[in-house]
């Protein structure tokens, strides 16, 4: 039986790469994002069947759940949607930015999970397994100056994932967390820095081979395609140049002589 996944954040970056990756290995995919024009282009390119929704709006989440109910079974939720705004110190933080990050990263994860869990359960009523998979960040694991708002939001999402795994114990539903470090995508850092292209490019300047969206998508596809009894609880992945959140090599990587 062909398995079907909902992939959020599908209009760009990691989410878009996941849609490509899953389609290439035979999954049916419903890409979800706010930008309907980008979703239409994605559908034309890879044969996905997308649905435009803002996952911070409950009415849109409900509409997504109704769409899934009307169009077929659901075997996996891949929640990529989220993001960061600003690099302010705690004392200078903009409450609007912090509120948006909590809504985009934590509340959206809760809303879409609650809405789609019944559909995941229905698809496995006669056997098999289902998946919930969440893309968090190494920012959920290690604080850094100027990152407190994003640290807090991603840590909140990570705790949601860990609690969900405990709550679903005894059901054949896997709960996986993928926590990437530095990933170069077209929009994440640009949006975080308010559209400042030069500042965004500076973040990656001189870094040998930061992760790409495709790198993360490959790991996600592996997790979803693993045998049903195998759960990758947490995968932390970084480029070799980033040994820790605070330790980043710039320049070519060379063997020591």
Residue among 134, 144, 150, 204 flagged as catalytic: 150
Q: What is the pTM of this model?
A: 0.95
Predicted pLDDT at 203: 85
pLDDT over 70 percentage in the chain? 100
Residues 18-54: pLDDT tens digits? 999 999 999 999 999 999 999 999 999 999 999 999 9
Query: What is the CATH T-level fold of the domain 4-240, as seen in this structure?
Result: Rossmann fold (3.40.50)
Q: How many helices (H) and strands (E) does the chain have?
A: 9, 11
Q: pLDDT at position 254, please?
A: 83
Active site residue 134: no
SS (H, E, C) 94-155: CHHHHHHHHHHHHHHHHHHHHHHHHHHHHHCCCCCCEEEEEECCHHHCCCCCCCHHHHHHHH
pLDDT 10s digits, 220-231 = 999 999 999 999
Band the pLDDT of 138: cuts 50, 70, 90: very high
- Check residue 186 and give its pLDDT: 83
CB within 8 Å of 214: residues ≥ 6 apart: 17, 20, 21
Domain assignments of the chain as residue spans, ordered by start: 4-240
User: How far apart, in whole angstroms, are the C-alpha atoms of residue 130 and residue 6?
Assistant: 12
């Amino acid at each position: 039986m062909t398995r079907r996944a909902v992939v959020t954040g599908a209009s760009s970056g990691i989410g878009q790469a996941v849609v490509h990756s899953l389609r290439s290995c035979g999954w049916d995919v419903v890409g979800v994002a706010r930008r309907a024009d980008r979703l239409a282009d994605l559908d034309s390119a890879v044969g996905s069947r997308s649905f435009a929704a803002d996952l911070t709006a409950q009415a849109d989440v409900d509409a997504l759940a109704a769409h899934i109910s009307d169009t077929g079974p659901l075997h996996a939720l891949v929640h990529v949607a989220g993001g960061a705004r600003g690099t302010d110190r705690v004392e200078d933080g903009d409450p609007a930015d912090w509120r948006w990050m909590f809504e985009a990263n934590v509340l959206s994860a809760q809303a879409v999970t609650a809405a789609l869990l019944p559909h995941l359960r229905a698809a496995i009523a006669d056997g098999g397994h289902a998946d919930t998979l969440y893309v968090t960040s190494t920012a959920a694991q290690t604080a850094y100056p100027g990152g407190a708002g994003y640290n807090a939001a991603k840590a909140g999402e990570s705790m949601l994932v860990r609690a969900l795994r405990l709550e679903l114990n005894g059901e054949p539903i896997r709960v996986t967390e993928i926590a990437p470090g530095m990933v170069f995508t077209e929009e994440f850092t640009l949006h975080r820095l308010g559209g400042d292209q030069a500042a965004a490019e500076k973040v990656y300047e001189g870094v040998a081979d930061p992760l790409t969206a495709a790198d993360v998508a490959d790991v996600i596809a592996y997790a979803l395609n693993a045998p049903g009894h195998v759960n990758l609880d947490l995968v932390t992945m970084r480029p070799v140049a980033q040994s820790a959140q605070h330790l980043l090599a710039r320049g070519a990587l060379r063997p020591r002589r």
